[in-house]
Structure 1
Amino acid sequence: MDTTFKEYNIRLSIDSRLEQVRVLSGALRGIGQELALSDDKLGQLELMMVEAVNNVIEHAYQLQAGNDVHVRVEYNPQEVHLIISDHGHAMPDELHAEARDMPDPEDLPEGGWGMGLIHALADSIRYIRDARGNHLYVSKQLV
């Protein structure tokens, strides 16, 4: 019996335009199907990635096209890691703090749900800003 398993490290990149997020989402769905992820896990990963990338485009790059948004998908049979990287403005500390509650809908006329949804769906989140840019690490357990 073969007990080895495959690990994957897939890199995707788009320009900082909201209309390209759909293409990125389709690529992640294709990757998830190839890796035989459950529809539930794949849907959660897709939602987290879309929310994170939209946040980068809207806030880090302030809707300015011409900037790179990088997504790395690291897979092993136990978990999937999404690493979203950019070179825009840093994320405010309060948005990536460890304990994050969903925002009160009464306080949000439009938007503001992204990081709350990511925190609710992810098994772990880590944000790092270094000389190479901003990096949001999001992990989802598969077992």
Structure 2
Amino acid sequence: METTYKHYDIRLSIDSRLEQVRVLSGALRGIGKELELSDDKLGQLELMMVEAVNNVIEHAYEMQGGNDVRVRVEYNPDVVNLIISDSGRTMPDAVHAETHEMPDPEDLPEGGWGMGLIHLLADSIRYIRDAKGNHLHVSKQLA
């Protein structure tokens, strides 16, 4: 008997206001529970998504509401891909470079940890800028 695996492609969107990130986070937790992800993997995915979305709101949209922040969750039994998209300012090359080190706590009184945490937790990261905007692809292996 052949086993059939489910694949999901879930799309969420919020306005570019920090108070809406909590709702997005809750939606991802609900999706993760439905997909029976471990608490550890789900926590890592949630942290990466929240950091990426906060960065979009703070840097790409400069804290201005009224803009779309889109999150796509692609799931198969081996991997979860998060694609965070926006139409704001382009991310500087140094921020999404493949080798991104955690900042020195002495140099950062507040903030600046987002991409370092994402690089630490993700199995792969890719940033694309195209005619539709900015797209940060973050993958987490499940196996």
Matches within 5 A, 1:80-99: 80-99=80-99
- State the alpha-carbon separation in 1 of the partners of residues 106 and 94 from structure 2: 19
- State the alpha-carbon separation in 2 of the partners of residues 98 and 3 from structure 1: 36
Letter aligned with residue 126 of structure 2: R
Number of positions where the alignment pairs a residue of Structure 1 with one of Structure 2: 143
Instruction: Give the percent of matched residue pairs that are identical in Structure 1 and Structure 2.
Output: 83
Q: Do residues 22 (structure 1) and 22 (structure 2) align?
A: yes
Identify which range, 115-124 or 98-107, moves more after superposition: 98-107
Letter aligned with residue 5 of structure 2: F
**1:2 offset after TM fit, Å?**
3.9
Runs of 4+ in structure 1 over 3 Å off: none
User: Helix, strand or coil: the match of 2:91?
Assistant: coil
- State the alpha-carbon separation in 2 of the partners of residues 113 and 101 from structure 1: 10
User: Helix, strand or coil: the match of 1:53?
Assistant: helix
**1:117 offset after TM fit, Å?**
0.1
- State the alpha-carbon separation in 2 of the partners of residues 85 and 32 from structure 1: 20
Q: Do residues 133 (structure 1) and 140 (structure 2) align?
A: no
**1:36 offset after TM fit, Å?**
0.1
Alignment-derived partner of residue 121 in structure 1: 121
- Taking structure 1 as the reference length, the TM-score comes to 0.99
Letter aligned with residue 21 of structure 2: V
Matches within 5 A, 1:10-89: 10-89=10-89
Give the unaligned 5+ runs of structure 1. Answer: none
- Taking structure 2 as the reference length, the TM-score comes to 0.99
Aligned alpha-carbon RMSD (Å): 0.5
- State the alpha-carbon separation in 1 of the partners of residues 59 and 115 from structure 2: 12
Letter aligned with residue 31 of structure 1: I
- State the alpha-carbon separation in 2 of the partners of residues 60 and 108 from structure 1: 20
**1:109 offset after TM fit, Å?**
1.4
- State the alpha-carbon separation in 2 of the partners of residues 2 and 48 from structure 1: 34
